[in-house]
Amino acid sequence: MTAVNETHALGLRSWVASANAEHTDFPIQNLPFGVFRRRGSGERFRGGVAIGDQILDLAATVASGVLDGAAREAAIAASREQLNEFMAMGPSAWSALRLALSRILRDGAAERGRVEGCLVGQHAVEHALPAAIGDYTDFYIGIHHATAVGRLFRPDAPLLPNYKWVPIGYHGRSSSVVVSGEPIYRPLGQRKGLAEVPDFGPSERVDYELELGFLVGTGNPRGEGIPIENAESHLFGVALFNDWSARDIQPWEYQPLGPFLSKNFGSTLAPWVVTLEALAPFRSPYRRPAGDVDPLPYLDAAENSANGLIDIQLEVLLQTKKMAYSGLGPERLSRSSFVEAAYWTPAQLVAHHTIGGCNLAPGDLLGSGTLSGPAITQAGSLIERTFGGRDPISLPSDEKRTYLEDGDTVVFRAWCERNEARRIGFGECAGTVLAPKRI
């Protein structure tokens, strides 16, 4: 039995009793990585692994002496305040640590007595982002350049109407990526209606976007692309991701370079990163619809066609402030799946991102984009779910929503399940919309 098959065995059980519960997100077959500390302790954040309703403290595990060799070296790196050093070690180190942790956490492990004291209840912790995430922002403020390029595509109107109103930029900003549970403040910005002059104020159309975040493990030298055949070996794992949007700010500012203030006010990343190795039993073929063009050769590979996607089930839930006060739990708004929604695979994202020589780094985050299915009940955003705000959602609290109001909490959940494999989950990705801090 290979190490991967050993850690995925359907009948594998843990001495951590909660890890054996039928619907736990974190059975022993999962073992996702995150960063935590005891709530209110003031101690440093450190790496840990989720197992049932507990977290295995990796620093304490190293100190217990139960690990050696490559697994111990990997655990030392994974016990830091961020996982970047561990991510940079590559697949062999990730696999060695995951196998060693599986062995010491399973039923009958001789190390149980030395490891039990390394567990911390998930209810007693707070999380930080699992990794330091790189960022990139590109502006378009050179008016002569903008005019010249615009003239190539729009000879009669080289500058779009918003150019002189908004400092155009495309935003993929790491400074406003926050961990699940952190508030999201309603953004301020310019909005253009029918009037000649845009108005300014808080967004009235804050929306969520159901996404997956792929975190880069090993990077690549600048100038050297990553071939699709080994692109996935550069990905450490997957986490739920909410790339919040302001739908009334975005249409005015996004031309010609893309969104800026409508996207940079906040993005929420779940605290747990599920490794690609843990997801191996849930791989699915990648097939384009009949009649679609084939990908160019640098985006095409036999392994990508055979196993390029992952069968991940996704759902969105909403709880308003009134619902919470009334004791009503979150209401599910949609359910979709990565296989049904994705037109491109994770490997294709990496291959395309680097084909021009861009260098990725450990901890870089690649968002999937909104993951919606074909039905309205599979919509991954409110702009789809409410037909652009024209068809409000009715909630059990007798409230209606077209877009999010202050006090609304959005929760994403995801899981994988198949008959021949143990169900595993991703934890929650949650955020509450609050009023702007200042106007």
pLDDT of residue 166: 44
Tell me the backbone φ, ψ of residue 430, rounded to 5 degrees.
-130, 145
Closest by CA position to 277, among listed 310, 301, 323, 320: 310
Q: Count of residues for the chain?
A: 439
Contacts of 302 (CB under 8 A, 6+ apart): none
* Contact of 420 with 266, CB cutoff 8 Å: no
End-to-end CA distance of the chain: 61
Digitized pLDDT (tens) for each residue of the chain, 439 residues in all: 466 679 999 999 999 999 999 999 999 999 999 999 999 999 999 999 999 999 999 999 999 999 999 999 999 999 999 999 999 999 999 999 999 999 999 999 999 999 999 999 999 999 999 999 985 433 333 343 334 334 434 677 776 777 565 444 345 688 898 999 999 999 999 998 888 899 999 999 999 999 999 999 999 999 999 999 999 999 999 999 999 999 899 888 887 777 889 989 999 999 999 999 999 999 999 988 888 888 888 889 999 999 999 999 999 999 999 999 999 999 999 999 999 888 888 998 888 889 889 899 999 998 888 888 888 898 999 988 888 888 999 999 999 999 999 999 999 999 999 999 999 999 999 999 999 987 6
Closest by CA position to 67, among listed 43, 113, 107, 100: 100
Tokens 């039928």 belong to residue: 22
* Contact of 49 with 31, CB cutoff 8 Å: yes
pLDDT of residue 439: 63
Give the global pTM.
0.91
Which H/E stretch holds residue 324?
Answer: helix 321-325
b vs e for 262-297, b when ≥16 Cβ sit within 10 Å of the residue's Cβ?
bbbbbbbbbbbbbbbbbbebbbbebeeeeeeeebee
Residue 142, Cα to own-chain centre: how many angstroms? 34
* Contact of 146 with 154, CB cutoff 8 Å: no
pLDDT of residue 343: 83
b vs e for 145-182, b when ≥16 Cβ sit within 10 Å of the residue's Cβ?
ebeeebeeeeeeebebebbeebebbbbbbbebbbbbbb
The residues that are catalytic are: 145
pLDDT of residue 75: 98
Contacts of 78 (CB under 8 A, 6+ apart): 33, 47, 58, 85, 86, 97
Alpha-carbon span 409 to 85, nearest angstrom: 33
Closest by CA position to 386, among listed 372, 406, 401: 401
Closest by CA position to 102, among listed 90, 114, 111: 111
Alpha-carbon span 343 to 73, nearest angstrom: 38
Give the amino acid at 323. Answer: M
Q: Is 213 helix (H, G, I), strand (E, B) or coil?
A: strand
Give the amino acid at 265. Answer: F
